[in-house]
Every structure is written in structure tokens, then in C-alpha cells.
Amino acid sequence: MFINNYKKNSYNSFIFGSSRTLAFRPNSWSKFLSVKDNPFMFDASGESIYGIYTKLKYLDSTNVEIKNALIILCRDCSFSQTENHKGHLFVKHPATSGEDNISFQFDFFKAYLSPKFLSNFYSFKILGNYKPFMSGYIENRKITFDTLTNEINIIDQETEIVQNPTEYYAKRKELFYVRMGEKTDSIQRINKKQMFMLKEVKRILEKNNTNYKVVLSPLYEQIKFNNSDLLLLKNEFGNNLYDFSGKNSFTDIKSNYYETSHFRPNVGDSIFKIIYK
């Protein structure tokens, strides 16, 4: 989408991170940017520091202006990879990975040829509607993607929460497990390769005089970043780092979440007000 739209839209402001970036809508971010700024959601499923670093490196190498950047880091996935991901949902585009385009396309072709996908996909086409057995292969939620900013909105779940939050969370009672207070991650997750990538991210941002913010996600789990990892991030990004991991006013409230992995846009809107005050 970025490659197809850049010449027309001249994006200069970018949001990086996993699918949890859906809480940080470009439309909301625009309120804190200049009128002439054009934001783009540069996210990916299960995005890692590898993906964030290679995207920034791509933008820098192609002389794209990086005026503003918002980087969302998650305790459980941002430091899970040091190289390209595997699988059609996670593999990086050759423009950023530098890898073979044929192999990239073949990953998607293999996924299409999966017998389980084919049976579910063509059952859906023939029947004309969704059935429970299609779960995991056919998306039953109404989700919109903005064709200019790549903003994602989960319409059905957001509407259900707004209209009847009690019923929404009652139906998902087993999903929202009881938490036992704040914990701190006992595993140091940032290794030497990832530290290099973090330093390169900072170098590229400073080279471009980017106004950037790094946000540590407020996940339902209420597990704080490992102390050593947090110190590394603070030393690297200083006052540009905002830590919302662990137990806080966002993570305490169950209704801030669609499920235990993704927090809602009202959380992102509140965080914008904090980091841009």
C-alpha cells in the first residue's frame, strides 16, 4: 500500500509496531501533528524490532521524509526475532527485507493451497455466509482498512462494547482471566543483534531530525518490561520513551480491551494526550 500510494500522498509520519497499533489511529494522531503532515500506519502482525528497523532503513534509503514517528513496542513480540519472519502472515516485503520476491510470493501461494483454507474458503463462496467451522480461516468480524492511511478499525466489536459492554464482557468471561497484580518479566529479551537494531533506529531518526515517541504497550497481562531491557531502552531513547507496561490506569480496566491481546482506540487516544502534552 505504501509503495502504491506514496507518490500521490507523500507520507511523512509513520506508526510502527504490531497489530496493537490499531489503537493508535492515524486519524487521531493527526490532531497532534502539523496540518500538512500525512500519517501512514506501517504496522504488521506480530511485528518485531527487525521489521521496524528494516522499514525505517527502507524509508531512509529511498529519501522519504520521516518527520514524525510513533513506535509501539510490546513485551511479548517486539524482541522475538532477529531476522525475517516465516509464514504468509508475518514475512516481510522484499522492499524492506531485501530477500527474493519469488520466495515471498510463493509463501502466499502455499498458504492458499492449504487444504483446510481451500475447503473453508470455497465453502464460504458456495454457501454465501459464514459458519462456525470456518473460524481461523474466514474473518467474521467487520473490519475496515483506510486505503490512504492504512488505519484499521474493528467495527463490530467496538460497536458491541459501546452499545452493551456488560453483555460483551459477560460472553467473554473465561477469556479475561483474573490477574494477580503487577509482575516484572524475569527474562531479558533484548539481545546484541536487537540492540544494534535499536541503535540503528535511533540513528536513522536523529539523522532525519524526526520528532519521535517510543511507547511500551499497556497489555492486559500487567507484566512490566524486564528491568534490564527497560534500562537499555531508557538509555537509548531517554525522554522519548513512555512506559505503559505493567499495572496502571489503562491496564486495570477490562473494558479497555477487545480481548486479552488488543487494547481499544480510546486507550491510544488517551496516550496521545499524555505523550504530546
Residue 198 lies in a domain: yes
Tell me which H or E stretch contains 224. Answer: strand 223-224
DSSP 89-118: TTPPPHHHH---HHHHHHHHHHHHT-HHHH
Residue 227 lies in a domain: yes
- The CA-atom distances, in angstroms, between 154 and each of 41, 54, 121 are 15, 28, 21
In which domain, by residue range, is 152 found?
Answer: 2-86+146-275
Determine the pLDDT at residue 266. 98
Q: Which of 267, 230, 214 is nearest to 14 (CA)?
A: 214
Cα 157 → chain centroid: 18
Residue 97 lies in a domain: no
136 belongs to a structural domain: no
Measured CA to CA, the distance from residue 56 to residue 214 in angstroms comes to 14
Spatial separation of the C-alpha atoms in residues 196 and 235, rounded to whole Å: 14
Distance between CA 85 and CA 105 in Å, rounded?
A: 14
Total tally of structural domains belonging to the chain = 1
Question: What percentage of the chain carries pLDDT values higher than 90?
Answer: 87
Burial code (b: 16+ CB inside 10 Å, e: under 16) for 26-57 equals bebbeebbeeebbbbbbbbebbbbbbbbbbbb
Question: What confidence score (pLDDT) does residue 15 get?
Answer: 99
Burial 65-87 (b: 16+ CB within 10 A, else e): ebbbbbbbbbbebbbebeebbee
For residue 25, the SS3 value is coil
Residue type, 253: I
End-to-end CA separation in angstroms for the chain = 31
Helix axes 49-61, 192-207, angle to 10 degrees: 30
Q: How far apart are CA 176 and CA 254, in angstroms?
A: 8
* pLDDT above 90: residue 91: no
What CATH number does the domain containing 181 carry?
Answer: 3.40.50
Q: What digits encode the pLDDT tens for the residues 61-77?
A: 999 999 999 999 999 99
**Beta carbons within 10 angstroms of residue 233's beta carbon:** 19
Tell me, yes or no, whether 44 lies in a domain.
yes
φ/ψ (deg, to 5) at 162: -65, -40
pLDDT at 201 over 90: yes
Structural domain includes residue 131? no
In a domain, 107, yes or no: no
Mean pLDDT calculated for residue range 141-149: 91
Question: Does residue 18 fall inside a structural domain?
Answer: yes
Kind and range of the H or E run holding 241: strand 241-243
Average pLDDT estimate for 33-52: 96
Tell me the three state secondary structure of residue 26: helix
Q: What is the pLDDT of residue 85?
A: 81
Q: What does the pLDDT read at residue 26?
A: 98
Residue 88, pLDDT above cutoff 90: no
pLDDT value at residue 141: 84
Whole-number CA gyration radius for the chain: 19
Across the range 46-60, mean pLDDT stands at 97
What is the band of 273 on the pLDDT scale with cuts at 50, 70, 90? very high
Residue 41, φ and ψ in degrees, nearest 5: -85, 110
Query: How far is residue 249 CA from its own chain's centroid?
Result: 21
pLDDT bin (cut points 50, 70, 90) of residue 86 is confident
SS3 category, 269: helix
